[in-house]
Homo-oligomer: A and B are copies of this chain.
Amino acid sequence: MTVTGGSLGREGAERQELTVVKIAHLAGVSPPTVSRVINGKTGVALSTRQRVEAVLREHGYRRRESSPSIAILELVFHALESLWALEIIRGVEQVAREQGLAVVLTEMQGRLTPGKAWTEQVLARRPTGVIAVFSELTVQQQSQLATRSIPLVVLDPTGEPLHETPSVGATNWSGGMAATRHLLDLGHRRVAMLGGPVQWPCCRARLDGYRAAMDAAGVPVDPDLVRVSTLYVEGGLHDGGELLRLPDPPTAIFCANDLQAFGVYEAARRAGVRIPADLSVVGFDDLPFTRWAGPPMTTVRQPLVQMGATAARLILSLANGEPSDQHRVELATTLVVRESTAPPSQV
């Protein structure tokens, strides 16, 4: 009986076999069925698979070390729609290349949770680790990886990850605070915030940073000036347009990301509002194109390449069994002041 294919040594295969036999006994299935489940093969009925998975979980099964012929790092994105993604890919790829790992890239086309097909493919590929960007793996998916000793690192998680899942992000709260304080220091008082979906921790933190800066300056937050929008240009265009049409419009808008800020640029252009003479705009991310916008955009820089590299290094140290003392790494954000912000015009 082959348990995990040809890459296991003889001794490893024998030790493995005992465990598989025991699991099979506990789950009331045949050993080959257990092997199929462990190795992510198809052809096992859902109920059987679930029974085996339950036993694996219950007994804390961990597949023993083996060396697959291809060392793979899985990188999964909810969407590949912006330079934001490309910067992260570059960071992951740099570290992977140094370590001789192949980066396998998956896009979920906007879905936040990967489907069953993805899970099966990943288990079959037996990667060194999985980096999930802006995605949410189900508890079952997380446990399927854990029972195969495949480490998981989440980058900018969209939900609350299981307590033990390590994650990498940036100091979103501090970034939101710095952006808002910059606008307040310029003399703005009608400061609006275009937030992203607040159920996502990174967006919530940026909004909280905005509120904290306003509170610290003793400037009341006008509820009319706080909007939640999608993190795309279209969201900024729509909600930015609404803000500009208010009877008492804001003199400054802080956006949860650069794409939204580009949308606000377009809304301002359509409304005949000049940036920065009539309206100051701050973005978040510092995508490479922001400096070539008209006018060059003031924004909060996230070190995206370093975030990707950090996630990859975290995977490697987890895969090497090194104890991790940090389960949440936050890299520093920095405010980059360009030409989309200025003191409010005197009315």
Contacts and interface: CB of A to CB of B under 8 A. Distances in A.
Interface string A278-298: 000000000011001111000
A106 interface: yes
Interface string A173-209: 0000000000000000000000000000000000000
A106 B106 CA distance: 14
Interface string A78-121: 00111101100110011001001011111100000000010001
A70 B265 contact: no
Contacts of A93: 80, 105-107
Contacts of A81: 288
A102 B130 CA distance: 14
Contact of A107 (B97, B100, B125): B97
Contacts of A82: 83, 86, 288
A2 interface: yes
A136 interface: no
Nearest to A8: B6
A138 interface: no
A7 interface: yes
A262 interface: yes
A12 interface: no
A93 B107 CA distance: 7
A266 interface: yes
Copy count, this protein chain: 2
A159 interface: no
A288 B234 CA distance: 12
A320 interface: no
A291 to B, nearest CB: 8
A294 B100 CA distance: 43
Contact of A102 (B5, B85, B121, B289): B121
A69 interface: yes
A89 B80 contact: yes
A29 interface: no
A54 interface: no
Contacts of A125: 70, 102
Contacts of A289: 262, 289
A104 B107 contact: no
Contacts of A293: 292-294
Contacts of A69: 5, 124
A107 B7 CA distance: 28
A89 B70 contact: no
Contacts of A263: 292
Interface of A: 2, 5-7, 69-70, 72, 80-83, 85-86, 89-90, 93-94, 97, 100, 102-107, 117, 121, 124-125, 233, 262-263, 265-266, 269, 288-289, 292-295
The 6 A-B pairs with the shortest beta carbon distances in the complex, nearest first, are: A294-B294, A6-B6, A262-B292, A102-B104, A289-B289, A86-B86
